[in-house]
Amino acid sequence: MAGKVYLVGAGPGDARLITIKGKECLEKADAVVYDRLASPRFLKWLKPGAEKIYVGKLPDRHTMKQEEINQLLVDLALEGKKVVRLKGGDPTIFGRVGEEAELLYRNGIPFEIVPGITSSISVPAYAGIPVTHRDLASSLSIITGHESPDKLDRMIQWDKVTNATGTLIFMMGVAKIGYISRQLMAHGRPPETPVALVRWGTRAEQDTITGTLENIEQKVKTANFQPPAVIVVGEVVLQREHLKWAEQLPLFGKRILVTRSRSQASELVGRIEELGGEPYEFPVIETVMPTSEKALSDIRQALDRLVSYDWVFFTSVNGVEYFFRHLSEAGKDIRSLARARIAAVGPATGAALRERGIAAEVLKERYQAEGLVDAYGEQMKPGQQVLLPRGDLARDWLPRQLKEMGLGVTDIKTYETVLAGEDDDELMKLFEEGGIHAVTFTSSSTVTNLLRILEKMGKTPPAELLRDSAVACIGPLTADTARKAGLHVSMMAKEATIDSLVEALCEWNKDEPRRHRD
């Protein structure tokens, strides 16, 4: 039985600009056929085992001919697979979707065309250029600019196109900008007509150059402005002076690697996106329930005597989540903690406890184990019992210190931290090309695991791959681990929180040059 092919528009590059239906198609796909213009982040939405096939075209070579791509879609569908053909922008605008769909039709393969946000309007919008304006342009034309001059002249009736609409959008025409400009001037557009080229719009590499029909060719050559780019011709370009909103965002132009576990990355990813950065998710750790019988036995014994503890110290959100998972499995609830004073290291840990009905005492300074002793040391008495629900990689400083103070300590390993992350050729390429502008580390294990994974992917020494990337650490312990691993720590959060880490990234980016050449 034949499968089905979804011809999906991925939008201009920013992963959030794909449609809901497009994302749903990716999530259920057995195979995805994609090209250079698709964001690598889309591939993170695929289900485990889904086949990834790259068929994109590079400036110096064609990975696969269009006829071969067409046949590939048929062959995959005949294997009974749900196939997504992922295309940048909208598949019906210079996306050759008609050729692909026609062969599917001739072979009796069911298919759907899923529209996407075309880069012809979205890329200018991200550069602060609305393609229409009530006072400046009430119509627009979308024109290919990629072909040779002879073919352009056969395809474009310059005498009609030049003044047919207020705004002209040329797709993929950077190399022909001089010829396009001369043709438009020859057919009636004034030399002073504003022009903008927007490269990699909506992505971290977004770059804009502006000029006029008369001088834009020279500006492009001087700046060595490279494709892919959208060309906008018309008075609407002048709106950019007031409307270039994306470039005002504090993390504009930065691609930031997020190494947190997938279950915890959403807050950091969301903040980066909100502030104009482009997050690249590459979780290098995952947390799992303990597997050893000793760890499980220790947890059961501790839960059986919860009413005996004078103190319970939670040092992380994971510690809270896994403790309550064990508590639930044991058939117990928070009433068992009625006798204990409960303290949390950091506001995020405190918030996790509040969600479970516990208003814990939250450390307001030193969001680490030492802060617990600083804050409560004088109130702790020899002979009191302390419960520490933590992970298997937690430092032994706190239990040792408490024992030296004469307290009874029950240190249970409620979760284990394991190596995550699979080979990612796109990430390696971005590192090598300087496309990862900053790397965030939220724990020592994210540092060690990222370097282990990079080494496994063939980079030795792995720290060398991060030489052009800023390194941002959430606290001094993480920063110390990074330095010992040979990394240069560029910034550290003032407090061990995600908000503080993001603030550090914004401060760092203030002094970075913004890419535009108005």
Which residues are tagged catalytic? 35, 57, 172
Whether the link from the prior residue into 228 is cis, omega within 30° of 0, is: yes
Helices and strands (H and E) in the chain: how many: 19, 24
Q: What distance in Å separates the CA atoms of residue 354 and residue 366, rounded to the nearest whole number? A: 20
**103 CB-near residues (< 8 Å, 6+ apart):** 70, 71, 73, 74
Question: Which residues are CB-contacts of 144 (< 8 A; sequence separation ≥ 6)?
Answer: 94, 155, 170, 171, 172, 173
Evaluated on CA atoms 185, 189, 190, 195, the torsion sign reads negative
The 3-state secondary structure of 468-486, one letter per residue = CCEEEECCHHHHHHHHHCC
- Read off φ and ψ for residue 349, nearest 5 degrees: -65, -40
DSSP structure string for 187-218: TT--TT-EEEEEESTTSTT-EEEEEETTTHHH
Cα angle, residue 122 at apex, residues 118 and 124 outer, rounded to 5°: 125
Element at 98 (helix H, strand E) = helix 97-106
Q: Are 32 and 52 spatial neighbours (Cβ–Cβ below 8 Å)? A: yes
Place of tokens 């110290």: 313
CA-wise closest residue to 116 among 6, 9, 7, 202: 9
Tokens 């092919």: give the residue: 5
CA angle centred on 248, ends 245 and 250, rounded to 5°: 135
Assess whether the previous peptide bond of 227 is cis (omega < 30° from 0): no
Q: List helix spans (H) across 34-79.
A: 66-78
Q: Spell out the residues 6+ positions from residue 515 whose beta carbon is closer than 8 angstroms to its own.
A: 205, 206, 207, 208, 253
Nearest to 501 by CA among 516, 512, 490: 490
Q: Which 3 state secondary structure label does DSSP give 42? A: helix
